[in-house]
Structure 1
Amino acid sequence: MEYFYLFLAIVGELIGTTFLKYSEGFTKLIPSILTLLFYGFCFFFFSKSLININLSIAYATWSAVGLIVSALISVFIFKEGITIIGIIAIIIIAAGVIVLNLFGTPSH
Structure 2
Amino acid sequence: MNYVYLIIAIAFEVVATSALKETQGFTKLVPSVIALAGYGFAFYYLSLVLRVVPVGIVYALWSGAGIVFITGIAWVWFRQSLDLPALLGIGLIMAGVVVINLFSKSVAH
2:65 corresponds in structure 1 to 65
Indicate the residue corresponding to 1:103 in structure 2.
Answer: 103
The gaps in structure 2 that reach 5 residues or longer are none
Contact 2:20 2:32 in 1 (8 A): yes
Secondary structure of 1:97 counterpart:
helix
Distance 1:86 1:67, change over 3 A: same
Identity %: 38
Please give the residue correspondences for 1:11-90 in structure 2 after superposition, counting only pairs within 5 Å: 11-90=11-90
Cα root mean square deviation, aligned: 1.6
TM-score, normalised to structure 1, is 0.92
1:72 is matched by which residue type in structure 2?
A: G
AA at the equivalent of 1:84: L
Distance in 2 (CA, whole Å) between partners of 1:90 and 1:65 is: 10
Preserved contact between residue 2 and residue 51 of structure 1 (Cα < 8 Å): no
Give structure 1 stretches of 5+ with no counterpart: none
Query: How far did residue 100 of structure 1 move?
Result: 2.1
Letter in 2 for 1:101: N
Where 2:57 maps in the other structure, the secondary structure is helix
Structure 1 CA distance for aligned equivalents of residues 107 and 34 of structure 2: 39
Per the alignment, do residues 83 and 52 of structure 1 end up closer, same or farther by CA in structure 2, a change over 3 Å counting? same
Q: 1:14 to 1:107 in 2, by over 3 A?
A: closer
TM-score (norm 2): 0.91
Once residues 107 and 53 of structure 1 are traced to their aligned partners in structure 2, the CA distance between those partners, rounded to angstroms, is 6
**Cα distance, 1:57 vs. partner?**
1.8
For 2:107 and 2:2, the matched residues in 1 are separated by 17
The separation in 2 between residues aligned to 1:68 and 1:91, in whole angstroms, is 9
Change (3 A) 1:98 1:107: closer
